[in-house]
Amino acid sequence: MSHDSATTGRVIALAASAILVVLAVGLGVSVAVQGFFDRPPPPAAEVLGKKVGLTQYRLEGASRDSKLTNKEVSHAAEGNSWGVKRSSSAIRVIVRYASEGMKADHTCYQFELPIPLTAEVEVERTRLDGCNGVDLDTEK
């Protein structure tokens, strides 16, 4: 075997190895991506918990300027029905969430912000026993 044919053989072997590595990586990515989309949807309680947590987080952020407008409450409620009651000691926001896949059709939470609103305000959230009789006078 001449020097040129030996070099050519190594180049071909190296190219074939590179092609096999690229194919293996492509196959691995394909399987991983397909597995990602085949995951079952998260439990309804987990989805609800994330929605409630996001509402609480948004209310805390919105109140840092010492004001809480209806527009800010609406953004925090993210399309869910809501109501707000303002008093000299607190702002109480009630949000009604759709409870898909759960026992009740809706789940209501109350978010309480103490007055005066400050940059360090902590919103207290409470799950209500039911949504019947809950006054949602300011909806969407």
Domain annotation covers residue 140: no
Based on the fold, state whether residues 55 and 121 are members of the same structural domain: yes
Domain annotation covers residue 1: yes
Domain, as residue range, for 57: 44-127
Based on the fold, state whether residues 93 and 107 are members of the same structural domain: yes
Among 49, 45, 40, 73, CA closest to 59: 73
Based on the fold, state whether residues 49 and 107 are members of the same structural domain: yes
Domain annotation covers residue 137: no
109, 125 Cβ separation under 8 angstroms:
yes
Based on the fold, state whether residues 49 and 34 are members of the same structural domain: no
- pTM equals 0.69
User: Is residue 123 very low, low, confident or very high in pLDDT (cuts 50, 70, 90)?
Assistant: very high
95, 108 Cβ separation under 8 angstroms:
yes
Q: Output the pLDDT for position 35.
A: 63
Residue pLDDT, tens place only, 39-94? 788 888 899 999 999 999 999 999 999 999 999 999 999 989 999 999 999 999 99
Q: What is the number of structural domains in the chain? A: 2
Among 73, 59, 88, 76, CA closest to 137: 73
